[in-house]
A and B are shown apart, each in its own frame.
Chain A
Amino acid sequence: MANEKIYDRINEQSPWQDITEGNKIFEAATSRDFCTGEWRTATPVWDADKCKQCLLCTPVCPDSSIPVTAGKRESFDYDHCKGCGICAKVCPFGAIGMREGK
């Protein structure tokens, strides 16, 4: 099935016989399917008005959570952002602030 996810086949109800040998995953980029943004304890907030679209923030994000479309950044991917704050630190225009909590 084209849209079948790895957790449709192996999940928390799977018996041991269904676990792949050595937990090998025969799929790529499965991390996208898991909402790891819930680990976050601080949240970056983007001020679109102050943003000059210099795109310095995008490449420094360790979790690729600043999507870019047609040469312009968009709002954060909060499903995967861990709130590390590197983007806020690197922004020369004060367009990213950090808020406590999720």
Chain B
Amino acid sequence: MAIRERLSGNEAVAYAIKQVNPDVMPAFPITPSTEIPQYVANYIANGEIDTEFIHVESEHSAMSATIGASAAGARAITATSSCGMALMWEELYVAASNRLPIVLALVNRALSGPININADHSDSMGARDSGWIQIYAESNQEVYDNFIQAFPIAEDKRVHLPVMVCQDGFITSHGVENILLVEDDRVKSFVGEYEPEHYLLNPEEKMAVGPYAVSNYYMETKRAQRQAMIQARAVILETAARFEEMTGRKYGFFEEYQMEDAEYAVVIIGSAAGTCKAAINEIRNTTGKKVGLIKIRVFRPFPEEEIARALSGVKAAAIMDRSEMFSATSGPLGAEVRAALYQARSEVEVVNYFYGLGGRDITVSDFKVVYENLETIARTHVVTGMYEYIGLRSEQSEEV
């Protein structure tokens, strides 16, 4: 029987860490992820787990120590947010290219500047090209479930890539929700003992990690790294299936909500999907209009074909970005979904929205306006431009 609890997202991740009992956790505090290492430090101080906690002087060191521990053969994790992850930047790429199965609990927060501590995806979206698998959550339950699944994905021989388990700062990290926890022994058997095949502390095998690779090798190395990301697709789905067997909770690359007959769809990442679902229920109950949602769970590897297929029946779609990328055209999710639709020769009308930057609220009414706009676009076939905003104060009627 699952354990019923009420936990914040940070508590849920810390509890999962306690259940996994990883070998090493180097970490440096930063809002809003600070509580995760704090709770883990408590577990260690109380003798509940024997994880080696390393007090480092910065996030640059936190990721460096995590990489060192992982290369040495330890199951190594860390947690961070925003500018903390920005300080890890160099090492993020090293972790991925050295093919180390590190798990990072990321609590999404806007990057400076202006300095801001609230939820947006600019930290993880900036790291989308670093070679990490990225898994996002709508709720505390999902971030807990994703965190447990991250270990078998990262450590699978076909993958050997680091995994970033993301949740929205404050909204889920500090918001307390009902949650179903898996029993300790079942979590332990789900993630298994970590037994790396090659590791630096193995006295039986000589090994060097992270050598210099000149231009004659770099390109082949990157192609091999891409192969791991391609192979991660199957492993992510297999792990989700195994998790469903254990808990009954179903996961995939994304969740389709009311998409069976949907004519107008929103594509979104993270906690705002919950608000969108409330809007969908209200619209369907009051007007019968066929509105639906695709909530991206796995952003890396990007499920391009699957998303194009899921959107193939809709008339118009709104791709919602919670971070800027200053291409001056679209946001990161907007660009990737558009590329997926183009490749699939899709004729779906698409508009890209920026919402929730730096923690700006998004409401059920906002989503109703989005769906109304989609109806207009589908009828007139006039998309006002590459992108629009939700909740932006402006003297202009259009921002494009």
Contacts and interface: CB of A to CB of B under 8 A. Distances in A.
B213 interface: yes
B397 interface: no
Given A12-B216, A26-B198, A21 B208 contact: no
A22 interface: yes
Contacts of A17: 224
Taking each of B207, B210, B213, B220, which has the highest tally of chain A beta carbons within 10 Å of its own beta carbon? B220
Contacts of B206: 26-28
A75 to B, nearest CB: 28
A25 interface: yes
Nearest to A28: B206
Interface in B143-181: 160
Given A14-B220, A19-B220, A22-B160, 7 more contacts: A12-B216, A12-B217, A22-B98, A24-B98, A24-B198, A25-B207, A26-B198
Interface string A1-45: 000000000001011110101111111101000000000000000
Contacts of A23: 97-98, 210-211, 213, 217, 221
Nearest to A15: B220
Contacts of A25: 207-208, 211
Interface in A37-80: none
Of the listed residues B207, B219, B221, B224, the one surrounded by the most CB atoms of chain A closer than 10 A to its CB is: B224
B208 A28 contact: yes
Contacts of B211: 23, 25
Contacts, number: 51
A12 B219 CA distance: 11
B111 interface: no
A21 B99 CA distance: 7
B216 A16 contact: no
Interface of B: 97-100, 160, 198, 205-211, 213, 216-217, 219-221, 223-224, 227-228
- Interface-centre pick from A15, A23, A28 (highest chain B CB count, 10 A): A23
Contacts of A21: 99, 160, 224, 228
Contact of B207 (A14, A16, A19, A24): A24
B270 to A, nearest CB: 31
Given A27-B206, A28-B206, A28-B208, A22 B100 contact: yes
Contacts of A14: 220
A30 B228 CA distance: 27
Nearest to A14: B220
A12 B220 CA distance: 10
B100 A30 contact: no
A28 B207 CA distance: 6
Given A12-B216, A24-B198, A26-B198, A19 B221 contact: yes
Nearest to A30: B208
Contact of B97 (A15, A22, A30): A22
A52 to B, nearest CB: 38
Contacts of A24: 98-99, 198, 207-209
A12 B221 CA distance: 12
A62 to B, nearest CB: 16
Given A16-B223, A21-B224, A26 B207 contact: yes
Residue picked from A14, A22, A24, A25, most chain B C-beta under 10 Å? A22
A24 B219 CA distance: 16
Contacts of A28: 206, 208
A19 B224 contact: yes
A85 B100 CA distance: 38
B161 to A, nearest CB: 10
Contacts of B221: 16, 19, 23
Contact of B205 (A15, A19, A22, A26): A26
A14 B97 CA distance: 18
B387 to A, nearest CB: 37
11 contacts: A12-B217, A19-B220, A19-B221, A22-B97, A22-B160, A22-B209, A24-B208, A24-B209, A25-B208, A26-B198, A27-B206
Contact of B217 (A19, A26, A30): A19
